Structure 1
Amino acid sequence: MHQLTYGDVKAAADRVAGRVRPVTLAPADAGEVRVGRRDALDDRPDEPGTVWLALEFMQHTGSFKARGAQNFIQAHREAKTLPGAGVTIASGGNAGLACAWAAQQQGVTATVFLPTTAPAVKVARLRGFGADVRLVGAEYADALAACEDFAATTGALASHAYDHPLIAAGAGTLLEEIVQQVPDLDTVVVAVGGGGLFAGVATAAQHHGVRVVAVEPENCRALNAAIGAGRPVDVTVDSVAADALGARRASRMALHAAQRADVHSVLVPDDEIVRARQALWDQRRVAVEHAAATALAALTAPQPHGYRPGAGEKVAVVLCGANTDPGDLARPVDQG
C-alpha cells in the first residue's frame, strides 16, 4: 500500500492549480458555533477562538471530489499511462460526477456505471458532463462488478471514490489553500466517510502542524472503529449522511494518517447533523449535504458531543459538498 506523503499533496497542488476553484473562507458569526472551551479552574480572561467556514461546496461539481479526480487524470496523463479507453468508475454520487467532469476537462472518455435504480437526475447530470453512463443491476455491487469487468476487458483506467493515493492527495490540496489564507491555523474539522478527504487533509495538516478533528455520524463510524481496533473493520451504516459518508470500512490509508497525525475522532448524532444543516440554510441561505453539515455539527452540538475550540484557537471547518435536495430546508416562516 502506498503511504501518502506531503510530497504527494504538493505534487497534486501543482497539477490542479488553475484547474479547480480555490476554496473561499468565511468567518463564522458570533454564536454560530460553540467556542472557548475552558477549564473550570482557569480564571484567565477568555479569549474567544476564531472559526472559518471553508466553502468547498462551491467547487466544480459541487464537492471536493473534483480535486482528486483532476489530480488522478492529470497524473496519469503526465506519466503517459492514460489509456485510449479513458477512465471508468462505479458511482452515482460525488465521485462519479467529479470523474466525469475531470475527464471532460481533459478530453478523456469517462464510462460511469450505476445501478438501474439510480435517480434520473443523477444520470442526466453525468451525461451532461459527457459521460457514457451504463445502468447495470439493481444494486451498487452489480454496477461495481460491471465496472471492474469493463476495465479488465477494455483497458480503461479504473478510478475509485476515495481509496487511491492520487485521489486522496488531490483532496489534501484543500488544506494547502486554507493555510495559505490562515497561516497560523490550529485546527481543521472535516467529515469522514471512506477517508479520502481525511487522509489527504491529515497528511498536509501534519506537515503544517495543524490538528485534525475527524467527524463521523454516530452510526457511520468507519474511521473511529478502525482507530479503536487498530485496523480497518466493517461497521454498520445507518445515518442521514450515509449517502456520502456511508463507507462500510475506512481505507488503510486513512487509518495510517489517523495514527500518524494529531487527530481527534469525534462522533455526532444525526439530529445534530440535521440541525447544523438547517442552521446554515436559515442563517446563510446555504444548502449543503448532510455530510458537510456533519463537520459543522462537531462545533454546534452540545456536550458531550462534538469539539470545543480552546481560547484563541483558530479553526477551519470544511463544508465539503452541496449535492443535495434542498426541498426539506424551507420552513413555513420563509414563505411571506
Structure 2
Amino acid sequence: MNRDAIAQAAQRFAGDGRGFVRRTPLWQLPGAALGVDCAQVWLKLEHLQVGGSFKARGMYNRLLSNPIPDGGVIVASGGNAGIATAAAAQALGVRCEVFVPTVSSPAKQAKLRELGAQVVVTGAAYAEALEACVARQREAGALMTHAYDQPEVVAGAGTLAMEIEEQGGRCPDTTLVSVGGGGLIAGIAAWFEARSRVVALEPELAPTLFRAREAGEPVDVSVGGVAADALGAKRIGAIAWDVSQRHVPQAPLLPDAAIRQAQLALWKDFQLAVEPAAALGLAALRTGAYRPARDETVALVICGANVDPATLA
C-alpha cells in the first residue's frame, strides 16, 4: 500500500463520471473552539460521505477495479461497509447481499434495505458474519468486498487523507484516526507517511491493534462497547498491521464513557449527528490520551453518521 495506489484510486473516482464519491468538507477551527489548547483542529466531515461513512471510498474503488459477475457483490459488515457496498452496487446497477452480525444497529440494517440490499443477520460478532458471508460467496460466485482488508478498499480510504492535504493546503501536524479493522488508518498513514503524525485510537473494549502490538502480531480479541457496531473487528487487518508498524507510533485506548461524552459534545456544540466511532478523536483530546503542543494543528476524522438520532438526546 503506497501513495501511488491511493492517487490511482482518486483518478478512478474522477474519471468514473457518476460523481459517486463526495469531496467532504474540512472545517478548520481554532483549538479553543473545541476546548483544546492547540493552534487548530481540523474536522474532516466524512460522515457526509455517500452512505454516511468513509467506507464508500474503499467499496467503490473495489467495485470499479474489478469485473462484477452475474452474482453481484457480497460483503460482511457491522453496518457501514455494508451500507457503502450497497450504495456503490445501487449506483452501478448490480445486486448486493450483506451479512451483518446481531450487534449491528437496527438503523444500519434499515438503511441497507432502503438501498436495495438483501440483508442476512447472523452471528453475534463480525467474525461470525464474515464466516457465513465467505461460505455464501463460494456458492453464489459474487465479488466479495472486505470491510477493511483489501488493497483497493484501503487505497480508496486513503483518498480521504489526500483530500485533507489538498483542502488544508498542507498536511496537519497530527491526524487522529479511529481503528476497527484498520482500513481507514492504513490508507491515511500510507498517504501521509512521515509527513503527519498518525495516531490510532481504539475503545478499551475493542483493542485490536493494541493487543496485536502486545502480542507482536495480529491476534483475535473480544470486542464490545458503544462503538462495537463500527469498530467491532475481531482482528486487525493484515494491511493495517503492516502499514501501522511503519507509520503509526501511538495507539492509545479510550473508555466508553469518554467516547460517549465526545459524541454528545459533537452534537450539542456543533450539531454533528455522528456515531460513537466518529467521536474518538475528540475524546482523545479531551481526556489527554493525546496531548497536542500549543502550536500544533490536529486533524480529526469524523468517520461515520449512521446513528439513531434518538440516542443523542
Match of 1:54 among 18, 22, 44: 44
Q: How far apart, in 1, do the equivalents of 2:207 and 2:124 lie?
A: 26
Q: Which runs of 5+ in 2 are unaligned?
A: none
**1:206-285 pair list within 5 angstroms:** 206=193, 209-285=195-271
The answer on whether the counterparts of 2:197 and 2:248 sit within 8 Å (CA) in structure 1 is: yes
For 2:185, give the aligned amino acid: F
- The alignment partner of 1:317 has SS state of strand
Q: Deviations over 1:202-252 (max 9, x none)?
A: 101107x11101111122111122223221122232321112112221112
Name the structure 1 match of 2:285.
Answer: 299
Partner of 2:34: 32
Residue pair 1:35, 1:299 contacting (<8 A) in 2 also:
no
1:233-274 C-alpha deviation (Å, 9 max, x unpaired):
222323211121122211121111111115321222211111
Deviations 1:172-208 (Å, cap 9, x if unpaired)? Answer: 110000000123322111100110111111101107x
Larger mean CA deviation between 112-121 and 6-15 belongs to 112-121
Q: In 1, distance between residues paired with 2:262 and 2:146?
A: 29
* TM-score normalised to structure 2 length: 0.90
Q: State how far apart, in whole Å, the 2-side matches of 1:139 and 1:310 are.
A: 39
* 316-325 vs 252-261, greater mean Cα deviation: 252-261
Question: SS at 2:36's partner residue?
Answer: coil
- Count, aligned residues: 307
Q: Which amino acid aligns with 2:113?
A: R
User: 1:7 — aligned with what?
Assistant: 4
CA contact under 8 A between 1:194 and 1:250: conserved in structure 2? Answer: yes
* 1:244 aligned counterpart, secondary structure: coil
* 1:186 to 2:187 alignment: no
Report Cα offsets for 1:246-305 as digits up to 9, x if no partner. Answer: 22211121111111115321222211111111111111121111000112211111x4xx
Name the counterpart of 1:66: 56
* Bigger Cα displacement from structure 2, 239-248 vs 261-270: 261-270
Structure 2 partner of 1:105: 91
For residues 192 and 35 of structure 1, do their structure 2 counterparts lie closer, same or farther at Cα, with a shift above 3 Å needed?
Answer: same
Mapping for residues 72-221 of structure 1, pairs under 5 Å: 72-76=62-66, 81-91=67-77, 93-114=79-100, 121-135=107-121, 143-184=129-170, 185-206=172-193, 209-221=195-207
- CA gap of 1:53–1:158, structure 2 versus 1, over 3 A, is same
**Which whole-Å CA distance do the structure 2 matches of 1:120 and 1:239 have between them?**
16
State the shift of 1:92 in Å: 5.0
Alpha carbon RMSD of aligned pairs, Å? Answer: 2.1
CA separation of 1:117 and 1:273: change in aligned 2, threshold 3 A = closer
* Pairwise CA distance, 1:160: 1.1
- Runs of 5+ unmatched residues, structure 1: 37-48, 331-336
Decide whether aligned partners of structure 1 residues 328 and 121 sit closer, same or farther in structure 2, where only a CA change above 3 A counts: closer
Give SS of 2:158's match.
helix
- AA partner of residue 211 (structure 2): A
Question: TM-score, normalized by length of structure 1?
Answer: 0.85
User: Could you say which structure has the larger radius of gyration?
Assistant: 1
SS at match of 2:200: strand
| C-alpha distance in structure 1 between counterparts of 2:130 and 2:234, whole Å | 15
Change (3 A) 1:200 1:133: same
SS at match of 2:180: coil
Which digits, 9 at most, give the CA deviation of each residue in 1:75-111, with x for residues without a partner? Answer: 11xxxx3212111112350011110000111122112
**In structure 2, what is the equivalent of residue 44 of structure 1?**
none
